[in-house]
Structure 1
């Protein structure tokens, strides 16, 4: 058919208009979901279940019709427990894959490696693990537990149960360094104090000299914020030295990667932790979650851990924000998420605290017993109180800093 000058002009005008539309406006395009997780290396016990949680959340969203009429497509990279890989792959997600969101990172060091980069690239970032608190960033949502939600209930519980002298062990990077200060603060508020404090690089696996120091200090209990496979050796060496029955242990990290399933009952029983989730929670939402996980992952529900559930819930919160925004435009999604959206997750109700971009959620003090997490006491709907004291993104929406605790 012979085209008239007018019809050609109309077609070219329509093509130009289509090309001018932003990427998120093309309804047929998939939503590009960026994932950065350590699925190999020293932290794969955290990353592998988080990756399984990612696949389950995306599958559920896609099966229910997707978001704003579009399916989600995951672009995932194994960061190999190497901080340099986070920077490399975050750049690839931003500049080559051109993703709409990045949900990932495990250690706080990995978060701080990519958070500034994603801010510069104007890509929404969601960080899901428990962490040390204080991040105030208009482009970032942090959907895991913070010290005021976790340590602030665990430390007083231990003081009341065992006494006023504690010995602190922590991983030697920003999480452990910040958490040690929080432990000292919550000990002081409980009329207690530390009688020793040590930091350990992530590759340290020999704790015999430290155990001797603890024996000499004679604390009423030990607080551990040790991280990763190498640090798991402490708990084995502690039990082998005959100390587990003499000085009790509490931890803000043991079990988040299912380490309590690796330890024997003789090594792990009696250790206290405080988390948002336990597979033992007898709620309808958790039962549905366990069934869905088992169906997708060959019945392997033992892989589920705290970090996996926090990650699953973080993805669902982002999805709820997209639904409410009716758009993938970053500013609109941020506004929708910060409006106070909530979900009913496997752990209970989780709501975003708009001024901090953190969440309000339930926390449970639990005891490791028979390689399970037995709930002893629950604390409902705890806000991110420590971050609320220093961060108000309603007043300072361009903020992109992490505040340090002032004792």
Structure 2
């Protein structure tokens, strides 16, 4: 496999061109349209994740328009590039709500970006879909959350890995909301299964050198490393781990590796093979909907340099589920759509069966454990209808529809 540099990835996907536009507005259509906002990182620290999200977001819109649009109108994509910058996230979220007056927004990658824009959309009643796996706890009637939470994935992969490798765990994680809260869930699930987290280290997103940490892990001799590392710079951990000859000594289990869809492309097979992960989607899912979906993606992006991941597939889901609700409700108004979305309806998606839990407005979905081999994840186990139990502990939008917060779940 040829190793793809970050620079070449940007060039081949067209993200570099998008990042150089004089205006942040990338796509516009006519005036008599239904507007939907896209707010994904097309440049910056998380561009390798944001570019695939944006591409399948546009694919879903194309499919909706090719099928006749919605309510007699075509759907217009209004796309901004926040460049992994929280100030730009705030600026563009405000523009989408007040200037562009979009009916819904699909966007945000990190929890920091979500918590920057979510209150803005709530304030201005702009319906918001967050389509990224995250740490759980958001309780907001104005948000639909389709990505997985720790109770759906970490809860499954920890006992699986402990049964496979042993009970001593060393955690390395990104130094922001997702990493810290996920590390706490890791500790809880490890201890519930009779194990021990012998150390936990956190790293800012721009850190790319991990030599001293690898030395610490060598000395600690855990049974496996649990990685909640995020972004392109953190891929250096896996590369340096392999270079140090550690892959054959201590296995890696990750809550996030492969989530962006470019990790297995940027790293070599030698660097990525053997990593175990758990998500709500892998390309290897064997159902007719997924096969048709992957064929559409291949036709639309024949030169794509990424692997379909949960974050991208769920972004596609977000647009398709929202469009289905618009058709059924005969409206783009949030409350009318929520009646449809929280009615218990099940959606047949590439990832499997998906429905919205009315209590949390999070997805109840099939979850998978898989192992990376030759740059591709092969599914080991499937867990149907997994509930967002963590967020259900703190959120009840049926009883408190005015809720607008991210709760820190007591662990």
Could you say which residue in structure 1 is the equivalent of 2:348? 344
How far apart are 1:36 and its partner, in Å?
0.5
Match of 2:210 among 207, 211, 220: 207
How far apart are 1:299 and its partner, in Å?
5.6
In 2, the alpha carbon distance for the partners of 1:339 and 1:354 equals: 7
Aligned: 1:164 with 2:128: no
How far apart are 1:304 and its partner, in Å?
2.4
Could you say which residue in structure 2 is the equivalent of 1:17? none
Could you say which residue in structure 2 is the equivalent of 1:333? 337
Q: Which moved more, 1:261-270 or 1:379-388?
A: 261-270
Aligned: 1:282 with 2:286: yes
RMSD: 1.3
Aligned: 1:242 with 2:228: no
Structure possessing the higher radius of gyration over alpha carbons? 1
Could you say which residue in structure 1 is the equivalent of 2:136? 133
Q: Which moved more, 1:202-211 or 1:317-326?
A: 317-326
In 2, the alpha carbon distance for the partners of 1:54 and 1:190 equals: 39
TM-score, normalisation: structure 2: 0.90
How far apart are 1:301 and its partner, in Å?
7.7
In 2, the alpha carbon distance for the partners of 1:101 and 1:293 equals: 23
- Give the secondary-structure state (helix, strand or coil) at the position aligned to 1:321: helix
Q: Aligned pair in 2 of structure 1 residues 312, 301: CA closer, same or farther (>3 Å)?
A: farther
- Give the secondary-structure state (helix, strand or coil) at the position aligned to 2:191: helix
Aligned: 1:155 with 2:146: no
Could you say which residue in structure 2 is the equivalent of 1:180? 183
Aligned: 1:296 with 2:300: yes
CA contact (8 A) 1:261 1:372 kept: no
Match of 2:200 among 193, 197, 200: 197
CA contact (8 A) 2:127 2:143 kept: yes
Aligned: 1:401 with 2:410: no
In 1, the alpha carbon distance for the partners of 2:303 and 2:239 equals: 29
Q: What are the superposed Cα offsets for residues 96-147 of structure 1, whole Å, 9 maximum, x if unpaired? A: 1111111111111100000011111111111001010110111111001111
Q: Which moved more, 1:341-350 or 1:30-39?
A: 341-350
CA contact (8 A) 1:139 1:334 kept: no
CA contact (8 A) 1:320 1:337 kept: no
In 2, the alpha carbon distance for the partners of 1:250 and 1:304 equals: 19
Match of 2:265 among 239, 261, 268: 261
Could you say which residue in structure 1 is the equivalent of 2:27? none
Match of 1:32 among 31, 35, 43: 35
How far apart are 1:322 and its partner, in Å?
1.4
Match of 2:254 among 251, 268, 290: 251
Q: What are the superposed Cα offsets for residues 329-351 of structure 1, whole Å, 9 maximum, x if unpaired? A: 22211222222233211111111
How far apart are 1:262 and its partner, in Å?
2.1
In 1, the alpha carbon distance for the partners of 2:306 and 2:267 equals: 14
Any runs of at least 4 consecutive aligned residues in structure 1 with deviations exceeding 6 A, and if so which?
none
TM-score, normalisation: structure 1: 0.91
Could you say which residue in structure 2 is the equivalent of 1:13? none
Match of 1:119 among 119, 122, 127: 122
- Give the secondary-structure state (helix, strand or coil) at the position aligned to 2:209: coil
CA contact (8 A) 1:182 1:405 kept: no
- Give the secondary-structure state (helix, strand or coil) at the position aligned to 1:228: coil
In 1, the alpha carbon distance for the partners of 2:306 and 2:126 equals: 34
Structure 1 spans left out of the alignment, 5+ residues = 1-27
- Give the secondary-structure state (helix, strand or coil) at the position aligned to 2:233: helix
CA contact (8 A) 2:147 2:310 kept: no
- Give the secondary-structure state (helix, strand or coil) at the position aligned to 1:229: coil
- Give the secondary-structure state (helix, strand or coil) at the position aligned to 1:69: coil
Structure 2 spans left out of the alignment, 5+ residues = 1-30
In 1, the alpha carbon distance for the partners of 2:373 and 2:393 equals: 36
How far apart are 1:306 and its partner, in Å?
2.2
In 2, the alpha carbon distance for the partners of 1:114 and 1:341 equals: 28
CA contact (8 A) 1:316 1:343 kept: no
Q: What are the superposed Cα offsets for residues 264-308 of structure 1, whole Å, 9 maximum, x if unpaired? A: 222111110011212122211111001111222236384422211
In 1, the alpha carbon distance for the partners of 2:307 and 2:196 equals: 36
Aligned: 1:369 with 2:335: no
In 1, the alpha carbon distance for the partners of 2:232 and 2:162 equals: 28
Match of 1:388 among 371, 387, 392: 392
- Give the secondary-structure state (helix, strand or coil) at the position aligned to 1:273: strand
